[in-house]
Structures are given as structure tokens and as C-alpha cells.
Amino acid sequence: TQNPKTALTKPTFCHYCTDFIWGLAGYQCEVCNFMSHEKCLKNVKIPCSCIAPSLVRVPVAHCFGPPGHYKRKFCTVCRKSLESLAFRCEVCELHVHTDCILFACSDCRQCHQDGHQEHVSDTYHHHWREGNLSSSARCEVCKKTCGSSEVLSGMRCEWCGILAHSACYIIVTPECTFGRLRNMILPPNCVQLFSRNFSKLHCFRISENLQTESDEDDDVDGSTQGSAKDVQISTDSSKQTLKIFDGNDAVKRNQFRLISVPRIAKNEEVVEAALRAYYINDDQQEYELQTFTQQALLSDDVINRNDDAEDSNLGSVFRESVPEAWIIRAKPKDEEVIRIYAAWLKVGMAYVSLRVNKDSTTQTVIKEVLPLLGRQFLIDPDNNLQCFQIRLMFFLSLVQRMVLDNQELILNRLKDIRKTSIRQMNQTRFYIVENSKSIVQVNLFVGGLPPQLSSEEYTNILKDELAIKTNVVSVSHVYQAQGAVVLEISCFSEAERIYMLVKDTTVNDKPLNAVVIPEVRDSKIPQNCCPLLVFVNPKSGGLKGRDLLYSFRKLLNPHQVFELTNGGPLPGFHTFSKVPSFRVLVCGGDGTVGWVLGALEEIRHKLVCSEPSVAILPLGTGNDLGRVLRWGAGYSGEDPYSILVSVDEADDVLMDRWTILLDAEEPAEGAENGVAEPEPPKIVQMNNYCGLGIDAELSLDFHHAREEEPGKFNSRFHNKGVYVKVGLQKISHTRNLHKDIKLQVDQHEVELPSIEGLIFINIPSWGSGADLWGSESDNRFEKPRIDDGLLEVVGVTGVVHMGQVQGGFRSGIRIAQGSYFRVTLLKPIPVQVDGEPWIQAPGQIIISAAGPKVLAKFVATGNLGEYVALPEGLPEQWPLQRKNG
């Protein structure tokens, strides 16, 4: 712990105990602004931002998307509140100012094993993150409030979600069992991914254009404006403000931080303030300030030659003419002590310290270090050189690795890095790594290809379009029906090249898409674990889909959460294809649900778990399926954690699904320009209902209206209004659907009454919750069920009748019940299936049962969040406890 220095500041809350600090006796750290009571100071165990990176055992980079505005959050680096543009990690609770991002500690959650790290243990420790808890948060240990909306305080485990005070978390048992959601979380040791230089966003398949609406003035080129706000340009004439650059890198980019020091400050004091501004916790005597001259901008060579000459200038920073800008430099050394981490050690002693001089090379270091780490079993010391290598790992916001050449002089390398940036040096580690002939295997899903081709034909397309190198790239899976392949690539740079190139490639005018697929190691999945595969359509329900994506990535393993706009449902099912037992959560409208269920139907035979149960979280307007499964009319901002708990507790029900074959005899109405080419038969899946005539026509108009002005249709309320208005315009029309179609039910011709619309219903909710069949019993028909293998057929006489059904005053005209239907269209007729409308050309429509029924999740109550989570350790079948009131 960096000991905060005394300072009298305005009264505030203690970052340690969250209580108010009365009077002016606060203790504040000058580096990270940590503030506490005097009595709390001696207990503080939270590392200061300047030493936190050195305490991280395995650095894991965060996953920063584009910057945004986040209310009521605090910066993890400087601990101040985020009023301005800031970054957040997309998979953990870390928030930082745009100009603090360079100083963030790379301690994100480890969600997968990177490459062949066989040493990752199968037990997990809590992954504590400080601050940004809700103000109602309760401490696991002392049961008192531990959240604060005033300051960064309190701790939360990023996996199991337990909460504790900064004072209490250290006595919580370190093992983490993933908490209440443990049987739906995909454990990190079950996921393997060769990520290397793929960005985190790519690895977690997060779209990069998340918030395109952020204003452009707030550009994040990291230049001056961010730093300026930290140190108010002092009006106090006894103080002065200086620009401090960190090495050549900062000079080149013109990035500096401002410090404010007394005019009569000693040289050391200025160096110390400069180090503090860069969160460097080293002895100031090892550093010096160099004047910033225009020459420094020229080249590294100029700077190198200046090194000696500058020394004479450094006697005092403050001679008559005070330069406003300085570069912070490390003083040259002939010898120093470096830490070498053993990459294979995950517990116990993580590193050894070693003295290196100007003659030390990578080679000599390996020879010296191995015995210290107990690895002297190789008789021939030269052989050690082939078996081990020294790697540098830089973990400045991105974690990057590089291998040192065997002959390289270590001190020279250190000198070079320091010249570039002393902050970078501070964030660099030496690792000794076993030189395994590791086999690289990157799996890339490539979609958007023409359907129904063979593996060879796909390979040829990829050779032509992407110039893939077939010696390192092979097609491992083909999804013919969907026009997609999975590539197995044994070379990183080739994988990266293909990934980037795919985004700019179109085949037959269709853009290709690429998704990085992690490998799920099914044998490692615990027996009682049935991971949840989550699909979210971010376009459904306004921006709610986006928020849910973010929440689910944080609550679960981001590798189990798939954004449907990024390659559809197939990459998710492919990733889970070997998982022995899993369940699915689909967040979106009925159309999205149909999309996912349709994809599941198509590739069911390729899944080890061929009948996963499917839960639905309705987003947006007019969702009938979610309603029937008692999830309510739609998601309106419930706590994502309670949603996952409800999914876990939901019962399975079976639901019929139907296949509709549409065989047009003549070209559809759309093909006006003469070319009379009959369409091939079309097959669609139906979950909810299928409508012919007026019902489809209304949604067709609505569909057009929505495509013209998509922005207007975000609220569910508004959507309904438009639906009614479009309907009213139709009242004047008269039509005779019963004369334009013929209906056959289970081989029998059925006489149709005078109607304008004919609807086949699978579920007892139509048009956002209406009961079209009605509740009266009727000895001609069975009581409808969603799993009886029967569809109900109902007629409506027109828009007025439909309105009455919507209002609950009437039901439709019962026409038939059956399991096989043939409809003959005598003229073009509007048709809709699960809300997706089009005009169908004359011909045959055949509706029959599709494959296995869907195992859907049926919630026992309509209200989410009514349950109290099961206390730890209770048996699974324990009766549910209800909250009182």
C-alpha cells in the first residue's frame, strides 16, 4: 500500500469505510486521490494505482469499446467521478477517464485460456473489483451497507458477485464458486482461445461501432484537454504549471501531463511530482528531467546524442528562463536488478530477481535463472537455450508479448524501452517461457457465402476472394444450408489477415462476415453445469438489447454471449456444438426467436445436445411467444441478474413447431418486369401463428412504414398506435378471402365462411396478447394446447372484428383444428408468418408439424424478480422462498 500523505482537504467520504470524514482531517494519497480517516489509514490494504500493476499475477487486458458518458461512476485510476467522456470495460466493472486509460491496471477477468497454457488451475479465486457498487449493496461479512454513490469504495467479485467492504473482503475465503449462477456460467478453464493480436473486442465478438452517436469534438487522441482538467492552471502566483512528457513516444504524439509545483520547488520535488503524474512508484533519484527542445522532436538519434549534453542543464530546473515543457528520463545505469517471472508458475513464488550488467544477454540470463527456479534437470546447458526463451510482456492497456533474441544485451533493451517511455518500462515484465513447439489453431467462422456448395467449392471461393494459404488454412466445418464455413488456421498472421480482409469482401454482392470462435473443452465442463448460450438482438427493443448484452457479458462468461447482428445464431451453436448439455436464452422479438429456433432446427443434428431448452426474453413490441411462456409482455428494465435466476428456475415445457412449404405456381406480384420465372418452393418455420389476408396485409403496411422511418418505432407504445392507424385506413376496402383460397384440413375440404382473414394459431396469444380462439368450450374441438400437435384455424371478418378481438370483446370464428393443412391460393395474397409479412403468389401452401418439439422455458410466475436467490448450499429442489410483500 502506498502510504497516503497528510493533506487538509474539503470534507468528504472515506474510501475505506465509506463513512463521512468530519472536519478537515482527511488523509489523501497524492497519486491516486485515495482519501480516508486517520483511524482507517493504518488498515488500508488497497494498492495505490501506481503499484497495482506490479501485483497482478497474470495480466489480462480490459476490453474497451469506444468512449461514452457513464453517470454515477468513478474512475478506478484517479478515483474521481466520471463527468466527462470515459471508457468502460465491456466485460468487467472497470471505468476510467479517457486520459487515465494508460494507467489502468491490466487486471480484467480471465475468461479463457490463451493458447496452450496447461497450468491454469481448475479452482478459481474471487476477482475483486473496487467501487461502483449500488448504494444498497450489503457486505457479505458484516452485513452492513458497503456501497457508496459518493466515492469509489467497496469491493465486488466479478464472477460470483459477492460484495464486501474494503476492510472485510480480505477475510472472505479466497475460493470463488461463481455464486448463484454457477450452473449456467461457462467456466474459463473450459474455453480455449488463441488470441494473440486479436483485440479483446474481436475475441468477445463485440461490435466496434457501439455508440456511434458520441460527439466528435471529444476525440480521444489523448492530447492536452484531458490532462488540463486534472490540475487546474493555478492562479496562485507562488505556483507554476509545467508540461511533462514521458519519453520519446509522448514527444512524438505530443501527449503530456500537467503538474503544478511551487515556484521555489527543488529539483527533486519536481521530479517526484512528474513521476506521480505518471503513476510511477520509483525512487525519484533514478530519474531526471530533460529540457524539451524542438530538437527532441526530430529523431531518436538527436535525442541520444543530447543525453550527455543535457546533464549540465539539469542543475536546477529553475533558472531565469523556465522552460515550460520537460521530458522525464531514467538516469543511465551500469547494472540493475530485474525480475524474471516463470511463466509456468501460477502459485507460490512467481519471480526471481537477478542482477544484470552491460554484458548480460538473454542467453546468460536463462542459464542463471533456471537453477534459481529449480529447473536444472538438463545436463547440457546449451540445450536449455533451445528449451526456454525470455519474453517481454508489455501490459499498457493492451497486453502484448515479444520474444528476446538469445544474443540480445538486456541492459540495452531496458535503455531503449525507457527512452521510449518510462511508464512503458514500468509496465514491462520479463518472463521465462518453455519453448514448446506450440501448435497454433485459430478458428474463424466465415458466413455470408453462397449456400449449398461443397467444401471444395467454398475453399475455391476463399482462395479467389481472400487468397487463403491452403498450407495453413483448412475448412473444418461446412454449413451448406446457411452458406458458412469454419476455418482452422495454424498461423496467427494469416488468421488476422483473413479476419480483417473478410470485412471488406463481398461474394455475389453479399458481404462476408467473420467471427473468432473459441474452443469449448467439453470434457472440462463440470457435471452439474448446464451453461447458458445467450443470443441478444441489439436492434430489438430500442437500446435495451445493447444494455442486456453488456450486463450478460459481465454476469456470465462473455464467451457464452452472442450478438445476433454479428453473424446470426450459427456461430453460437457452433461454439456449443460439443457441449453435452446446455440451454439457450434468446433476447429479442418474436422474429428473433423464430430466427434462432429456425437455425437450431437446421443444425440440431450436429449438436451433441440436440434438444436444448430455450428461454425467451421478449424485447420490443408485439411479442406473443414470451407472453405465452409467462415472461410478460416485454422486457422493461428488470435486473439482468434476476432474469438469469428466473431462467435457471423456469420449468421446461414442450412446444409444437410447424413447417410451412410455399409452392408458387406463378411468379410473385413483385416481379413486374416481365421475366416470368417460377420461384422455387420456399420453406419457413412457424412458432406462433401464420395469417393470410387482412391480418398479413396490416403487418405488411406496418412493415413498410417501419422501414421508411425506423427511428420513430422504438417505443412499444408508439408501435401499437401505428398498428391501429394503419388498420383504420383499411376499413373502406371490401374483400372476399374465402373466394380466393381453398382450405384442406387433414385431407378434408373445409367450407369457409365469409371472411377477410384466415389465421393458423399455435400459441394462445395473437397480435400482442389477444385470445383469438376464445375460452368457451366447444364439443367440436379439443381445448388448444401448445404441445398437442394441433393447430387451430380461425377466421376474422375484417379490421373491425380484429379490433374487437384485440380489445377482448369477441373472439375469431372457429373454423378447424388439425395437424396437416393445404391451402390453395387462387390469386396473390398477403401472408405473414410470426410477424414477417410478404405477398405470396398463387399456388399451394402446406403446413405440417416440424421435427421435435421445442423445449421452452416456462416461468412459474409472471413477475420477474419475485424470488429470493437460493442461499448457498441448499439442495436444488429446495422449495422456492418468496419475499414477503
Question: Residue 624 carries which DSSP code?
Answer: S
Alpha-carbon gap, residue 395 to 685, rounded angstroms: 49
152 binds Zn ion (CB under 5 A): no
CB of 67 to Zn ion, least distance (A): 12
CB 99 within 8 A of CB 246: no
Candidate segments 14-22, 380-388, 615-623, 876-884, binder of Zn ion by CB under 5 A = 14-22
- Region of 36-44, 66-74, 535-543, 710-718 interacting with Zn ion (CB under 5 A): 36-44
- Least distance (Å) between residue 19 CB and Zn ion: 5
* Nearest to 569, CA basis, from 586, 553, 555, 591: 586
Whether the CB-CB separation of 725 and 858 falls below 8 Å is answered with no
Q: Are 727 and 805 in contact (CB under 8 A)?
A: no
Given CA atoms 321, 325, 331, 337 in this order, what sign does their dihedral have?
positive
Give which of 828, 451, 450, 846 is closest to 671, Cα–Cα.
828
| Chain length of the chain | 885
* CB of 101 or CB of 466, closer to Zn ion: 101
Residue 17 interacts with Zn ion (CB under 5 A): yes or no:
yes
Shortest distance in whole angstroms from residue 7 CB to Zn ion: 12
Are the C-beta atoms of residues 141 and 164 closer than 8 Å to each other?
yes
* Distance, CA of 756 to CA of 520 (rounded, Å): 52
Of 73, 165, 429, 857, the residue at the interface with Zn ion (CB under 5 A) is 165
Residue in this structure with the C-alpha cell 428466473, named with its chain if needed: 646
- C-beta separation of 87 from 98 below 8 A: yes
Residue whose cell numbers read 453517470: 71
Among residues 100 and 662, whose Cβ is nearest to Zn ion?
A: 100
For the bound state, the minimum distance from the C-beta of residue 181 to Zn ion, rounded and expressed in Å, comes to: 11
Q: How far is the CB of 531 from Zn ion (least distance, A)?
A: 17
40 binds Zn ion (CB under 5 A): yes
CA distances from 395 to 105, 108, 129, 329, 399 (A): 8, 12, 18, 20, 4
Give the shortest CB-163-to-Zn ion separation in angstroms. Answer: 9
* Residue closer to Zn ion, measured from CB, 37 or 329: 37
List the x/- string, 111-150, binding to Zn ion by CB under 5 A.
Answer: ---------------x------------x-xx--------
Residue 416 grid cell: 531503449
The Cα 228–Cα 401 span in angstroms is 33
| Residue placing its CB nearer to Zn ion in the complex, 101 or 593 | 101
Minimal distance, residue 529 CB to Zn ion, in Å: 16
Cα 22 to Cα 34: distance, rounded to the nearest angstrom = 16
- Helix (DSSP H) and strand (DSSP E) numbers for the chain: 22, 46
- Among 62, 276, 418, 423, which residue sits at the site for Zn ion (rule: CB under 5 A)? 62
Q: Does residue number 631 form part of the binding site for Zn ion (CB under 5 A)?
A: no
Smallest gap, in angstroms, from Cβ of residue 447 to Zn ion?
A: 28
- Which position among 104, 160, 303, 432 is part of the footprint of Zn ion (CB under 5 A)? 160
Task: With contacts defined by CB under 5 A, name the span among 41-49, 384-392, 641-649, 660-668 that binds Zn ion.
Answer: 41-49
- Report angle CA 129, 132, 135 to the nearest 5 degrees: 125
In sequence order, what are the residues at sequence separation of 6 or more whose Cβ sits closer than 8 angstroms to the Cβ of residue 249?
420, 421, 424
DSSP 8-state assignment for residue 26: -
Q: Which stretch binds Zn ion (CB under 5 A): 92-100, 374-382, 572-580, 836-844?
A: 92-100
Q: Does 89 bind Zn ion (CB under 5 A)?
A: yes
Which residue lies nearer to Zn ion by CB, 44 or 444? 44
CB of 519 to Zn ion, least distance (A): 22
Task: Choose the binding region for Zn ion from 67-75, 236-244, 667-675, 688-696 (rule: CB under 5 A).
Answer: 67-75
- Rule CB under 5 A: is residue 169 a binding residue for Zn ion? no
Site string for Zn ion, 170-209 (x = CB under 5 A): ------x---------------------------------
Residue with cell 500537467: 258
For residue 535, the minimal CB distance to Zn ion (Å) is 23
CB of 430 within 8 A of CB of 392? yes
Q: What is the DSSP letter of 376?
A: -
Query: Angle, nearest 10°, between helix axes 716-728 and 799-807?
Result: 150
Give the list of residues 6+ apart from residue 699 with CB closer than 8 angstroms, or none. 691, 832, 835, 837
Nearest distance from C-beta of residue 16 to Zn ion, angstroms: 5
CB of 161 to Zn ion, least distance (A): 7
Kindly state the helix (H) or strand (E) to which residue 6 belongs, with its residue range: strand 5-6
Query: Interacting stretch for Zn ion, rule CB under 5 A, among 105-113, 412-420, 451-459, 493-501?
Result: 105-113
**Three-state SS at 240:** strand
Q: Segment contacting Zn ion (CB under 5 A): 43-51, 346-354, 573-581, 749-757? A: 43-51
**Only segment of 162-170, 284-292, 338-346, 549-557 that touches Zn ion (CB under 5 A):** 162-170
151 binding Zn ion? (CB under 5 A): no
- Positions in the binding site for Zn ion (CB under 5 A): 2, 14, 16-17, 29, 31-32, 34, 37, 40, 48, 62, 75, 77-78, 89, 92, 94, 97, 100, 108, 126, 139, 141-142, 157, 159-160, 165, 168, 176
